[in-house]
């Protein structure tokens, strides 16, 4: 038994280590890499894993619980309160509308109303694990699309409670909702009190008990103890939620929210994160391994129709609701396509419905395959959306009048800033204090809304579109500050400006040396690495603390900066890795000699000043 456990562990880990880097290299995303690894090692291909996949999946679902806990840590109660309209309104409308539509379609196909209602509730659920992981990877989690998707997923987690209560009633076997939980012997009012009590325990413990406990753990200065305490907390919440029949993920999320203002928040997040990532990866792999390719090959037309029918139906419902809740076209497309699959909780509901005799073995087998395939297709659909659909939406209006996507107005300022996060904001405020008028473009609608509330004039629009740059005054401007956070977007903007506005002086943000090399090779002369100046300023302060004179430290930093800029230009032309390593070593030796000579010169000058002083 132990030998089998280690073999299966090795197989899952090997599959992840091989396939995920390949998927990331091909820009397919880590989620699709995990899914492909699961398909490869599963019963349909290499047959390295088999019947134990369902048991592994139940274990791996704990990764979803951890993910919701981490999300709760990043979401303060006040921010959660602001999302209440989207959680209850958008989330409720999505679930009810989808369930009713599926109910009608299933009844028209000849299924009983019990089966139709069960399928409606199952299909209305979306995958928390896949959606939140992809949104986070692509940097969309804090956009309107990401927050709206999160609101819908959170409502679905809440809806698990009434769904679990309804399903036993549909089976006709006389079981009550309470009998599906570990407290089934209690009457209805007792079950309700137990649920309220469990939530109250989490709230009270989170507010009054956990802070002193974490303080005691922190005093031990043992990192493993903090990790153990974090895991103990999440596991404890999951057990408590299971006892009363609530979603463990929902309980973990609530616990995270209550600790969002804690000084231990970041420590908790870093302790949980490795476990969360591995368990989520394991969950995605088990989803991939459960796809029944034999069934797909037997009925390819039917399976394709069901999968794409479900995805299309859910996407249309979500898109219409997104319009009602004022999501812009691009944001709405991301929102509707990201939630168009059926979620992981469907596996639990299908198994329970089959055990209760609500659905037949055939319906259970077909729907299990549909759920897994729809989840597997989600990363691919979002990738195609990003590559094909979103650029089309960006080009919907060539005259800038598509207010659903941008609101850029004609300007004639000498400076345009593309991207107004912390980097661009600092540049913009500095220029404006010198009475230099600037035009600001930012593609994050939430950031634009916030900046407008504090009184800044910022336009929502994609700066990589040459037509928007033209409206923003690129033909008459002198300088374009490229401060966009995304590296690929920065390079795309550089190429767009070189093609359409070659007269503009581009001052370009770079995250590191490697990106600076690419920008230099693209012809950029003014490149600003994010960490260079800050690192040197820290070094100057360190020298002062160690007893060096301030002007000596500042002079050394200036010498280092000048040499590093020259080295950057020299190394950008070297592509051979071996030559690059040799050149780096030569430049490091050169820098050491230069700094030593500069320090000796400084000491000689200081001595001469003292003698003449």
Q: Which pLDDT score, from 0 to 100, does residue 400 have?
A: 35
Per residue, what are the HEC states of 203-220?
HHHHHHHHHHHHHHHHHC
Q: Which pLDDT score, from 0 to 100, does residue 185 have?
A: 61
Q: At what angle do helices 144-171 and 445-453 cross, to 10 degrees?
A: 120
**What residue ranges of the chain have pLDDT lower than 70?**
1-3, 27, 51-54, 58, 74-76, 78-79, 161, 164-165, 172-191, 245-247, 263, 391-411, 445-446, 455, 575-577, 606, 608-613
Are 126 and 105 in contact, with CB atoms under 8 Å apart? no
Q: Bridge partners of 510?
A: 529
pLDDT tens for each residue of 437-455: 888 888 776 677 777 777 6
Calpha distance 281→278 (Å, rounded) = 5
Provide the CB-side half-sphere exposure for 394 (13 A, CA). Answer: 18
Give all domains of the chain, ordered by start, each with its CATH number: 58-392 (1.20.1530.20), 415-612 (3.40.50.720)
Are 363 and 106 in contact, with CB atoms under 8 Å apart? no
Are 371 and 348 in contact, with CB atoms under 8 Å apart? no
Calpha distance 372→11 (Å, rounded) = 21
Which of 320, 486, 330, 305 has the alpha carbon at shortest distance from 394? Answer: 330
Which of 405, 379, 380, 409 has the alpha carbon at shortest distance from 392? Answer: 405
Are 313 and 102 in contact, with CB atoms under 8 Å apart? yes
φ and ψ of 587, to 5 deg: -70, -35
Burial class (CB in 10 A: 0-12, 13-18, 19+), 301: exposed
Which H or E run contains 433? helix 422-433
pTM of this prediction exceeds 0.85:
no
DSSP line for 320-354: HHHHHTT--HHHHHHHHHHT-S--THHHHHHHHHH
Cα distances from 227 to residues 212, 222, 250, 274, in angstroms, run 16, 9, 21, 10
Q: Which pLDDT score, from 0 to 100, does residue 392 have?
A: 63
Q: Which pLDDT score, from 0 to 100, does residue 409 have?
A: 59
pLDDT tens for each residue of 312-330: 999 999 999 999 988 878 8
Determine how β-strand 479-482 pairs with β-strand 505-510. parallel
Are 191 and 183 in contact, with CB atoms under 8 Å apart? yes
Q: Which pLDDT score, from 0 to 100, does residue 395 have?
A: 42
Calpha distance 234→443 (Å, rounded) = 36
């Amino acid at each position: 038994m132990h030998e089998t456990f280690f073999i299966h562990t090795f197989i899952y880990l090997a599959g992840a280590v091989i396939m995920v880097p390949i998927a990331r290299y091909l820009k397919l995303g880590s989620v699709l890499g995990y899914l492909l690894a699961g398909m490869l090692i599963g019963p349909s291909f290499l047959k390295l894993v088999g019947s134990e996949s369902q048991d592994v999946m139940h274990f791996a679902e704990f990764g979803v619980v951890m993910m919701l806990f981490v999300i709760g840590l990043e979401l303060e109660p006040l921010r959660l309160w602001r999302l209440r309209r989207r959680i209850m309104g958008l989330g409720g409308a999505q679930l009810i509308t989808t369930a009713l539509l599926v109910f009608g379609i299933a009844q028209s196909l000849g299924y009983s109303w019990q089966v139709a209602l069960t399928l409606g509730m199952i299909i209305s659920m979306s995958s928390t694990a896949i959606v939140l992981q992809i949104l986070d990877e692509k940097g969309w989690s804090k956009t309107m699309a990401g927050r709206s998707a999160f609101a819908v997923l959170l409502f679905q987690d809440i809806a698990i409670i009434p769904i679990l209560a309804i399903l036993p009633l549909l089976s006709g076997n006389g079981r009550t909702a309470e009998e599906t939980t570990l407290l089934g012997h209690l009457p209805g009012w007792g079950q309700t009190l137990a649920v309220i009590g469990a939530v109250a325990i989490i709230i009270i413990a989170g507010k009054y008990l956990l802070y002193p406990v974490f303080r005691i753990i922190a005093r031990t200065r043992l990192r493993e103890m903090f990790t153990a305490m974090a895991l103990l907390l999440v596991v404890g919440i999951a057990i408590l939620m299971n006892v009363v029949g609530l979603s463990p993920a929902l309980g973990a999320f609530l616990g995270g929210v209550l600790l969002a203002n804690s000084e231990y928040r970041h420590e908790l997040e870093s302790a949980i994160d490795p476990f969360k990532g591995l368990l989520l990866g394991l969950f995605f792999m088990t989803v991939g391994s459960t796809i029944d390719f034999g069934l797909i090959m037997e009925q390819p037309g039917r399976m394709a129709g069901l999968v794409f029918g479900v995805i299309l139906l859910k996407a249309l419902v979500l898109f219409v609701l997104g319009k009602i809740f004022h999501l812009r076209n691009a944001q709405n497309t991301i929102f509707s396509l990201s939630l168009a699959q059926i979620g992981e909780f469907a596996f639990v509901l299908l198994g329970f419905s089959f055990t209760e005799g609500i659905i037949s073995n055939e319906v259970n087998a077909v729907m299990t395959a549909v759920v897994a395939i729809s989840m597997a297709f989600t990363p691919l659909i979002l990738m195609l959306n990003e590559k094909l659909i979103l650029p089309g939406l960006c080009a919907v209006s060539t005259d800038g009048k598509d207010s659903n996507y941008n609101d850029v107005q004609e300007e004639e300022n000498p400076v345009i800033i593309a991207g107004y996060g912390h980097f661009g904001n600092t540049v913009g405020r500095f220029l404006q204090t010198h009475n230099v008028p600037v035009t600001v473009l930012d593609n994050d609608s939430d950031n634009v809304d916030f900046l407008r509330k504090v009184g800044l004039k910022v336009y929502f629009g994609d700066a990589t579109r040459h037509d928007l740059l033209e409206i923003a005054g690129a033909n008459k401007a002198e300088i374009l500050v490229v401060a966009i956070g995304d590296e690929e977007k920065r390079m795309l903007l550089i190429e767009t400006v070189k093609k359409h506005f070659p007269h503009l002086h581009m001052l370009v943000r770079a995250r590191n040396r490697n990106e600076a090399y690419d920008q230099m090779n693209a012809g950029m002369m003014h490149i600003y690495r994010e960490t260079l100046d800050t690192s040197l300023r820290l070094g100057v302060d360190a020298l002062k603390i160690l007893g060096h004179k301030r002007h000596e430290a500042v002079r050394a930093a200036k010498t280092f900066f000048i040499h590093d800029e020259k080295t950057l230009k020299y190394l950008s032309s070297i592509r051979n890795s071996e030559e690059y390593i040799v050149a780096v070593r030569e430049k490091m030796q050169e820098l050491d000699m230069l700094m030593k000579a500069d320090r000796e010169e400084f000491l000689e000058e200081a001595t001469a000043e003292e003698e003449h002083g």
